[in-house]
């Protein structure tokens, strides 16, 4: 017992170790008496971009992004950040009393990330810290504003603010409350959707209850307990719009469920309504909900396929939010697969000919010996087979992605796609650009219904000549060229050597310039084929004729530009071409360089005398070296 008592006395008199903070000498960087509830304003900014400041401020008990249209704050994320800010305890690392020393830690005022906390109504911050370089992924250098003492901290407030790059400004969207709407689908009783080109209404109805079987007679003197009421069963019906009388119940239930978790990504300037498609809104979703007022969600999409925006009509702040395209398209769903839309439904083997007739001209393709060929426009150019096959495959398998109400303005149906088959022709009419999705309005055969095909499918069908043919119109015509003639000069091969004939005299040509021109001419691409216009240029800006060893020739004439395009006539071509100013300028420059004679050779300077024959040099001052900035030397010098 005596021994046990001595042990207990020894332990009680030993000095107990302090806390971890005491042991490693951690210093508090915020006021210890400051509570999270005392903070009413947070400012944060990158020192290199002090004007791009994010300001979070508490108004009437609710936090808002004061620097970003007073958008609501994600309270959970902000509470965590304030807690980390007030709990900052750093280990002293060094004293940096000059800018040079602070720069080593990236803690100069114009380098560091600044975080300030204010009490309500106060101009001076109660917490003002600077966050600098992270020496490793677990720690970061920090200091208090106005203090040269550098500490190491385990919480990186810059990273917690969403900044991963040095010098980047904080983003207000990091602090945005992203959940805009949450309506459980079992509480929705009616859904009305308005699009730019259609309306759609679904309503929930209680199913009729089956007749109850008569209860069995109770024995004499016994009471029959009442049966519990049966739970109501519901079904959804299409009340307005739609395509046909039936809808996909699976797709409708999925659509209703999307209103239970609608999230947004950012807030935009509410004063610029037209920029967001809100002048007026072209999309609207009205949800009737059990036990509460209707929820009205407005939507905007300035261009089909472009960015998307939403707003709650009942929102007191009238904010307009940006949301993801996928999210928007899930809320304002396309007609397919919600409804079954009719398509062409053929295979490539069914088709014997496909014609695309447009106001600009027509394209006709037809199979020959197992390969689809372009019959019109009839051009002596290499065919782009994948583009030809795309026309056929898209036409025979065309499937609409959406539809429009009959009253919608679908534009003029002035493009006709005819698919000839063994059982007769099928036709698809194409109209104007769709207003709800990125596509084109369409009608199939004699069905008056207005459908929508995707922009991708439309692009495969509505091809131009440059999509159907390789546009390097000279590549195969300039093989084995031995002579090039222009109005000003001629180059020709003589015994394997290129010669230049100009003003009646022949000299050696610059062989490299000739080969460069031929290479440029073979690669020269036209931009368009002007079908129906003869291959003639009346007053060319320049022209040339190429001749091979067998006497075959090809001539090219280029006319003056109009609206950024030069007319180009190539001998043997059925139509006139157009080429861009850049392509023509490169060809003309190569042609001009080919006509320049080589620079005259200079005689070698006499050999210097040997050192033995030269008198000893007379000492003199070394002249100053003249430095020439080659950037100032004119081209060609």
User: What are the backbone angles phi and psi of residue 72, rounded to the nearest 5°?
Assistant: -70, 150
Q: What pLDDT shows up at residue 221?
A: 64
Would you put residue 370 in left (φ > 0), alpha (ψ -120 to 50) or beta?
left
Other beta carbons less than 10 A from residue 315's beta carbon: 14
Which residues are CB-contacts of 380 (< 8 A; sequence separation ≥ 6)? 572, 573, 574
The pTM is what? 0.77
Cβ contact 366:470 at 8 Å:
no
Q: What pLDDT shows up at residue 498?
A: 96
d(CA 351, CA 349): 6
**Considering only CA atoms, which of 163, 158, 177 is closest in space to residue 69?**
177
Q: Helices (H) and strands (E) in the chain — how many of each?
A: 13, 37
Q: What pLDDT shows up at residue 77?
A: 97
> Mean pLDDT in runs of 10 for the chain (637 residues)?
55 48 67 92 97 96 97 97 95 94 96 97 95 94 96 96 93 97 96 98 90 64 68 92 94 97 97 96 97 96 94 89 97 96 97 96 93 88 93 98 97 98 97 96 97 97 88 90 96 94 92 96 92 90 96 96 96 91 97 89 51 40 34 34
Could you tell me the domains of the chain?
A: 21-172 (no CATH), 179-208+233-338 (no CATH), 348-468 (2.60.40), 481-594 (no CATH)
Q: What pLDDT shows up at residue 54?
A: 98
Tokens of 471: 């546009």
């Amino acid at each position: 017992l005596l021994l046990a008592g001595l042990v207990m006395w020894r332990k009680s008199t030993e000095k107990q170790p302090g806390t971890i903070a005491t042991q490693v000498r951690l210093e508090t960087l915020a006021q210890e008496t400051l509570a999270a509830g005392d903070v009413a304003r947070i400012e944060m900014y990158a020192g290199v971009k002090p004007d791009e400041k994010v300001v979070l401020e508490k108004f009437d008990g609710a936090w808002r992004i004061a620097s970003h249209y007073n958008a609501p704050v994600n309270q959970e994320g902000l509470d965590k950040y304030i807690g980390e800010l007030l709990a900052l305890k750093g280990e002293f690392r060094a004293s940096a009393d000059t800018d040079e020393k602070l720069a080593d830690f990236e803690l100069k005022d114009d380098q560091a990330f600044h975080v300030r906390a204010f009490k309500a109504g106060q101009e001076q911050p109660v917490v003002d810290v600077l966050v600098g370089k992270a020496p490793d992924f677990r720690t970061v250098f920090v200091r208090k504003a106005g203090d040269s003492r550098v500490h190491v901290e385990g919480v990186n407030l810059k990273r917690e603010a969403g900044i991963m790059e040095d010098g980047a400004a904080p983003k207000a969207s990091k602090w945005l409350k992203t959940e805009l709407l949450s309506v459980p689908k079992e509480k929705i009783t009616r859904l009305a959707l308005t699009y730019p080109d259609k309306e759609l209404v679904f309503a929930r109805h209680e199913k009729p209850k089956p007749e109850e079987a008569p209860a069995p007679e109770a024995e004499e003197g016994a009471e029959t307990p009442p049966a519990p009421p049966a739970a109501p069963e519901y079904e959804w019906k299409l009340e307005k719009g739609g395509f046909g009388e039936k809808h996909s119940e699976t797709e409708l239930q999925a659509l209703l469920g999307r209103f239970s978790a609608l999230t947004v990504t950012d807030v935009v300037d509410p004063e610029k309504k037209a920029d967001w498609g809100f002048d007026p809104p072209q999309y609207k979703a009205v949800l009737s909900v059990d036990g509460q007022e209707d929820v009205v969600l407005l939507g905007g999409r300035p261009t089909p396929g472009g960015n998307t925006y939403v707003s709650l009509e009942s929102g007191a702040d009238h904010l307009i939010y940006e949301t993801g395209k996928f999210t928007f398209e899930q809320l304002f769903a396309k007609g397919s697969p919600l409804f079954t839309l009719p398509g062409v439904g053929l295979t490539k083997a069914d088709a014997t000919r496909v014609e695309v007739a447009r106001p600009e001209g027509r394209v006709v393709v037809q199979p020959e010996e197992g390969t689809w060929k372009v019959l019109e426009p009839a051009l002596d150019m290499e065919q782009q087979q994948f583009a030809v096959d795309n026309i056929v495959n898209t036409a025979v398998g065309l499937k609409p992605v959406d539809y429009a109400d009959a009253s919608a303005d679908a534009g003029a149906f002035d493009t006709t796609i005819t698919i000839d088959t063994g059982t007769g022709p099928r036709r698809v009419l194409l109209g104007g650009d769709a207003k709800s999705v990125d596509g084109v309005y369409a009608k199939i055969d004699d069905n008056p219904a207005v459908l929508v095909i995707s922009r991708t499918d439309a692009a495969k069908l509505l091809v131009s000549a440059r999509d159907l043919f390789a546009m390097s119109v000279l590549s195969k015509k300039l093989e084995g060229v031995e002579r090039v003639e222009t109005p000003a000069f001629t180059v020709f091969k003589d015994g394997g050597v290129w010669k230049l004939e100009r003003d009646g005299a022949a000299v050696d040509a610059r062989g490299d310039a000739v080969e460069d021109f031929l290479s440029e001419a073979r690669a020269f691409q036209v931009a368009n084929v002007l079908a129906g216009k003869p291959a003639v240029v009346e007053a060319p800006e320049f022209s040339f004729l190429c001749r091979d060893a067998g006497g075959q020739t090809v001539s090219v004439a280029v006319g003056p530009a109009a609206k950024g395009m030069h007319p180009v006539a190539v001998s043997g071509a059925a139509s006139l071409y157009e080429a861009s100013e850049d392509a023509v300028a490169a060809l003309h420059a190569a042609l001009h360089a080919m006509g320049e004679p080589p620079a005259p050779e200079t005689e070698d300077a006499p050999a210097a005398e040997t050192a033995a024959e030269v008198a000893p040099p007379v000492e003199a001052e070394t002249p100053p070296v003249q430095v020439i900035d080659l950037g100032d030397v004119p081209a060609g010098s």
